């Protein structure tokens, strides 16, 4: 897993968001609304990525699999936003050099499609966060068959141990091997 802390990721996202804001403010062409909307989308994406670090810090402290999945989603979203930003820069240069209305309209259509796609990705990312990243199945202590976990202190033991060595709690009944063993008994 990545060794960067939530605070480091927060600060990196903050710097990226400020850069995106300055690019948006520097863009003076009010007649090209598609490029302006694309720049606004980048600012919103950077802000979303920044606040997803807070989600990670608050909700995923002891859930390693969900934290790993969230960091994957963050990294992928960051890559998408960076790619989108580079596409916007190319389209802005192209829009300034193109002279025919047909070329500008085609360019705007492609940019509009990319903007919609990244917006949909981040919408679904946000929805996954709202749902608690329930797409990640976390194994609970009931799923560990070769051992039992103390209900009181959650320390793990093999079935050879009859009493918890930490708090002296007795284990739950050991699950039987199969249904046929129950029938033949």
Which pLDDT score is estimated for 28?
65
The per-residue pLDDT for range 143-152, each reduced to its tens digit, is 445 667 777 7
Examine the domain organization and report whether 20 and 110 are in the same domain: yes
Domain count, the chain: 2
Examine the domain organization and report whether 25 and 100 are in the same domain: yes
DSSP characters for 57-115? HHH-TT-HHHHHHHHHHHHHHHHHHHHHHHHHHHHHHHHHH--SHHHHHHHHHHHHHHH
Q: Which domain holds residue 168?
A: 141-185
- Split at pLDDT 50, 70, 90, the class of 99 is low
The per-residue pLDDT for range 116-142, each reduced to its tens digit, is 888 888 899 889 888 888 877 655 554
The residue behind tokens 């790993």 is: 68
pTM for this entry: 0.63
């Amino acid at each position: 897993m990545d060794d960067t802390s939530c605070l480091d990721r927060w600060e990196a996202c903050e710097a990226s968001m400020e850069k995106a804001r300055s690019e948006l403010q520097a863009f003076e062409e009010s007649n090209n609304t598609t490029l302006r909307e694309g720049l606004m989308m980048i600012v919103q994406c950077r802000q979303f990525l920044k606040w997803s670090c807070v989600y990670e810090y608050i909700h995923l402290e002891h859930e390693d699999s969900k934290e790993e999945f969230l960091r994957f989603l963050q990294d992928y979203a960051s890559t998408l936003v960076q790619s989108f930003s580079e596409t916007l820069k190319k389209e802005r240069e192209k829009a300034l050099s193109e002279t025919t209305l047909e070329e500008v309209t085609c360019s705007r259509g492609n940019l509009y499609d990319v903007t919609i796609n990244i917006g949909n990705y981040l919408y679904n990312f946000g929805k996954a966060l709202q749902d608690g990243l329930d797409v990640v199945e976390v194994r609970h202590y009931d799923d560990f068959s070769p051992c039992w976990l103390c209900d009181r202190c959650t320390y793990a033991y093999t079935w050879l141990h009859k009493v918890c060595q930490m708090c002296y709690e007795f284990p739950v009944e050991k699950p039987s091997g199969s249904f046929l063993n129950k029938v033949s008994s």
